[in-house]
Amino acid sequence: MTKSNHFPEQPPETKGNRTMKKSQIRIWFLIPLIIFAAVMVMLYFRLGQPTDIVTNTALERPVPPFELPLLSDTSRIMTNDNLPDEPFLMNIWGSWCPTCIIEHPFLMQLEERGVNLVGVNYKDDIGGSFGYLNRGGDPFSMSIQDLSGQFALDLGLTGAPETFTVDGEGVIRQHIVGEINESNWQDRIEPCLTVLNDANDNNVSPDAIQVEEVCK
């Protein structure tokens, strides 16, 4: 007896069924395109919106209040009252910072030119800080120790080294991101300091228009 395999017969495919399958295939192809188009539309409208990125919350404001140890004598606590009453540069530095090492010889030159520099030793151990200054010299009239880094963040620090130009009234007028060198000293920092020093010598507040022009 011969055994035959018997499968139920499939109903013949009609023209309507074929049309339906083709439509379903088209829909599945269209779905990714629709999603892609929707994403593009959202991106277009999002990119068209203004985006404000605040990189310095302290610019044009007084130096944020602080109570931090003097690096050279950590038993002494420094505050805003200990800052110079004339324009100065506040430099954020650390012995662990490669760019600070590159910048340091130029800071020594500025100190020799009579520029008043206040250092903020940022997230550094005291042994490394002393070794750094012993090797390269100390250009700062004083350095305060910011172990937590909070004061530097209050200033608007984005990464060491950075320098803030402060007027004689204790208001931050300029924020230099990265190292100070001869180029940005001549182009940006010295012109700003000149305006601030002139105002300080005449016992007046710096002219807002001049500050906006030269302390960019």
With a cut of 70, say whether residue 25 has pLDDT above it.
no
Q: What's the token pair of residue 172?
A: 């931050």
Residue of 199, 180, 170 whose CA lies nearest to 60: 170
Q: How confident is the model at residue 35 (pLDDT cuts 50, 70, 90)?
A: low
Q: What is the pLDDT of residue 54?
A: 39
Residue of 81, 62, 86, 83 whose CA lies nearest to 201: 86
With a cut of 70, say whether residue 65 has pLDDT above it.
yes
With a cut of 50, say whether residue 40 has pLDDT above it.
no
Strands 117-122 and 88-93: parallel
Identify whether 161 is preceded by a cis peptide bond (ω within 30 of 0): yes
Q: Of residues 52 and 16, which shows the higher confidence score?
A: 16
Q: What is the pLDDT of residue 135?
A: 96
pLDDT, one tens digit per residue, over 100-114 is: 999 999 999 999 999
Q: What is the mean pLDDT of residues 166-177?
A: 96
pLDDT, one tens digit per residue, over 151-168 is: 999 999 999 999 999 999
Whole-model pTM: value is 0.74
Question: CA angle, 18 as apex, 13 and 23 as ends, to 5°?
Answer: 155
Strand ordering across the sheet containing 67-70: 73-79, 67-70, 142-146, 117-122, 88-93, 162-166, 172-177
Q: What is the pLDDT of residue 99?
A: 96
Residue of 87, 108, 61 whose CA lies nearest to 193: 87
